[in-house]
């Protein structure tokens, strides 16, 4: 088995209002809604998947939007920030775009020599836009509401807050194949085997910090990539041999998944790259219809009746003429 994780597959977070979520991520950030389905474990709510044109691993941010969900609290034992790659020199553009949309964003920061723009989504989920030269080598979605030269290019990475980072670092490096790349104060940067999107994990030592509380505006879990089913089963054996409780393989239709908690409390997943989001929709039609797995299809009428109305055709914030 290749003992190195290639990078992030997807990040899944919790939201409250599904319409507000769709509007922000498609019309404002310019991501593509690549799959509209339901939470397979709770089909009374949507599961919304956003990503690049094809929904490739390393670009996918997903949401469970529970209307009226209480606000969570960022803290130790959580993925505290999810970062997107944007081309160098585009943060002025993004500040203007976010301001026109009425979105919340903070002051630019410099981190490991890169410019970082903090952004909050409508549920106060912490996002970051990282201007990085790697974005130049990744194709953008050319038919989205953001001009290709400014568009998001998938994930840069994610940041975890830990009260005691050592056991987490041990898991990332000795088992999952991440390598320590740099450190700044309490922040340690680890690099996955791939140099593509989603290859960075930052671990921040949150000394004397409060534990996080799940809810709207927080990350539910982070998923890492594996190439196929055989490697996923090998990872399951490896992780169980380390003494971690790992779930059986679960069929998520567009990938297969195993789950386990890292020592600091963050819920990890390892997801297969195949079969991908075009298994039940053409590339042109991704995200345009409610798709259900075969075992929920007999319940479609009841599921559709219970879900809130969702308008997918929005007036995007296109570039000014």
What residues form DSSP beta bridges with 190?
A: 180, 201
> Is 21 inside any structural domain?
yes
Of 198, 184, 155, 189, nearest to 169 (Cα)?
A: 189
> Is 318 inside any structural domain?
no
Q: Which helix (H) or strand (E) holds 230?
A: helix 229-241
Residue-level pLDDT at 28? 97
> Is 315 inside any structural domain?
no
What residues form DSSP beta bridges with 203?
A: 160, 188
Give the whole-angstrom CA distance, residue 72 versus residue 211.
Answer: 11
Residue-level pLDDT at 68? 92
**Tokens representing 85?**
């790659």
Give the whole-angstrom CA distance, residue 8 versus residue 136.
Answer: 19
Q: How many domains does the chain have?
A: 1
Helices (H) and strands (E) in the chain, counts: 5, 17
Buried b (16+ CB within 10 A) or exposed e, 278-307: bebbeeeebbeeebbeeeeeeeeeebeeeb
CA angle 273, 129, 256 (to 5 degrees): 15
The label of the residue with tokens 């998944």 reads 257
Residue-level pLDDT at 318? 38
Contact between 269 and 257 (Cβ < 8 Å) = yes
> Is 314 inside any structural domain?
no
Distances, alpha carbon 314 to alpha carbons 24, 26, 51, in Å: 10, 9, 17
What residues form DSSP beta bridges with 118?
A: 128
> Is 2 inside any structural domain?
no
The label of the residue with tokens 């509380």 reads 213
**Tokens representing 181?**
């790349």
Give the whole-angstrom CA distance, residue 80 versus residue 127.
Answer: 9
Of 46, 84, 52, 94, nearest to 66 (Cα)?
A: 46
Q: What is the pLDDT along the chain (321 residues), one digit of tens a residue?
A: 567 899 999 999 999 999 999 999 999 999 999 999 999 999 999 999 999 999 999 999 999 999 999 999 999 999 999 999 999 999 999 999 999 999 999 999 999 999 999 999 999 999 999 999 999 999 999 999 999 999 999 999 999 999 999 999 999 999 999 999 999 999 999 999 877 899 999 999 998 889 999 999 999 999 999 999 999 999 999 999 999 999 999 999 999 999 999 999 999 999 999 999 999 999 999 999 999 999 999 999 999 999 999 998 644 433 443
Residues 6+ apart with CB under 8 A from 143: 53
- Its domain, for residue 249, covers 8-306
**Tokens representing 35?**
């799959």
**Tokens representing 103?**
């979105």
Residue-level pLDDT at 313? 60
> Is 1 inside any structural domain?
no
CA angle 29, 36, 20 (to 5 degrees): 45
> Is 149 inside any structural domain?
yes
**Distance between terminal CA atoms of the chain?**
53
pTM above 0.85, yes or no: yes
CATH number for 49? 3.10.180.10
> Is 206 inside any structural domain?
yes
Omega within 30 of 0 (cis) for the link into 275: yes
Q: Which helix (H) or strand (E) holds 34?
A: strand 32-39
Residue-level pLDDT at 7? 96
């Amino acid at each position: 088995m290749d003992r190195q994780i290639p990078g992030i597959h997807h990040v899944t977070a919790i939201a409250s209002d599904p319409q507000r979520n769709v509007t922000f991520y498609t019309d404002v950030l310019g991501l593509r809604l690549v799959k509209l389905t339901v939470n397979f474990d709770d089909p009374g709510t949507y599961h919304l998947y956003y990503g690049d044109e094809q929904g490739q691993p390393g670009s996918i941010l997903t949401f469970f939007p529970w209307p009226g969900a209480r606000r969570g609290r960022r803290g130790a034992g959580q993925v505290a920030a999810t970062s997107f790659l944007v081309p160098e020199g585009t943060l002025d553009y993004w500040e203007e775009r976010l301001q026109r949309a009425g979105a919340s964003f903070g002051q630019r920061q410099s981190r490991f020599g890169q410019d970082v723009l903090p952004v909050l989504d409508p549920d106060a989920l912490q996002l970051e836009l990282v201007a990085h030269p790697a974005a130049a080598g990744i194709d953008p979605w050319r038919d989205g509401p953001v001009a290709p030269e400014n568009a998001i290019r998938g994930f840069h990475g994610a940041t975890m807050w830990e009260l005691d980072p050592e056991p987490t670092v041990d898991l990332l490096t000795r088992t999952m194949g991440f390598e320590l790349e740099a450190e700044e104060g309490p922040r340690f940067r680890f690099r996955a085997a791939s140099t593509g999107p989603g290859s960075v994990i930052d671990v921040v030592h949150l000394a004397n910090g409060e534990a996080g509380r799940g809810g709207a505006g927080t990350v539910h879990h982070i998923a890492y990539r594996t190439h196929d089913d055989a490697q996923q089963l090998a990872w399951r054996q490896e992780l169980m041999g380390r003494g971690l409780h790992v779930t059986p393989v679960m069929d998520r239709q567009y990938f297969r998944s195993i789950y386990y908690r890292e020592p600091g409390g963050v819920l990890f997943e390892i997801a297969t790259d195949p079969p991908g989001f075009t298994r039940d929709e053409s590339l042109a039609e991704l995200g345009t219809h409610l798709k259900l797995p075969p075992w929920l299809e007999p319940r479609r009428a009841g599921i559709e009746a219970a879900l809130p109305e969702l308008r997918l055709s929005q007036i995007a914030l296109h570039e000014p003429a």
